[in-house]
Amino acid sequence: MLADYAPLVVLLAFAVGLGVIVMGLAHFIGPRSPSPVKDQTYESGMTAIGGAQRRVPVRYYLIATLFILFDIEVIYLYPWAADFRNLVAKQGFGALGGMAVFLGILLVGYVYVWREGALEWD
């Protein structure tokens, strides 16, 4: 079974190799004549004001957290879907019920998050 995955390693080697070669080409072939003005970060032609590492709104954090939680939910859906016909044969509509409860509880969270305005982007 592991042999099924072995080709991925070979492809990874090829892809990384290509990336390194392209970056190497860029490094060795292109001309180079740095100057202090040219090397400034681009800010629409103006002198850059302050550093770029500024703090970002907390909203990004919230979106990422919600993404993790729903992503876990989606992961749970896959084995259920792959085995669904088998589960229906065993449990009848119980196969639906188990997942309905799971999704139902998460739906409560979804509605809460929506009503709290966490999905607004303003």
Partner 1 sequence: MDAIELGIVALKCLVIVAVLLTGFAYTTFLERKVIARMQQRLGPNRAGPFGLLQPAADGVKLIFKENITPVGVDRFVYFLAPIVSMVVAIMAFAVMPVADPITVTIGGQVREIRFQLADFNVALLYVLGITSLAVYGLVLAGWASNNKFALIGGLRSAAQMVSYELAMGVALVSVVLVVGSLSMNDIVDWQVAKGLPLIVLQPVAFGIYAITAIAETNRAPFDFPEAEQELVAGYHTEYTGMRFALFFMAEYINMITVSGLAATLFLGGHHLPFVERFTGNLPWFVDIGVFLAKVILALFLFIWIRATIPRLRYDRLMAFGWKVLLPISLANLALTAVVIAFLAR
Partner 2 sequence: MSGLDPAFLIVGALAIVTAVGMILAKNVVHSALFMVAHFGLTAVLYLLLSAPFLAAAQLIVYAGAIMVLVLFVVMLLGRQEALLDEPIVGQRWLALAALGVLGAALVRVAALGVPAAPEGGTAVVPPAFGSPAAMGDALYTQWVLPFEVVSLVLLVAMIGAVVIAHFQRRPRNEKAGNPAIAADATEIPSPRA
Give the residue, chosen from 35, 60, 89, 93, that forms a contact with partner 2 under the rule CB under 8 A: 60
Could you give the string, one character per residue 56-85, with x where binding to partner 1 holds by CB under 8 A and - elsewhere? x---x--xx--x--xx--x--xx--xxxxx
Binding to partner 1, residues 13-42 (CB under 8 A): 13-16, 18-20, 22-23, 25-27, 29-34, 38-42
Applying CB under 8 A, what is the total number of residues that bind partner 1? 69
- DSSP string for 9-70: HHHHHHHHHHHHHHHHHHHHHS-----TTTTSPPSTTSPPPS-S-----HHHHHHHHHHHHH
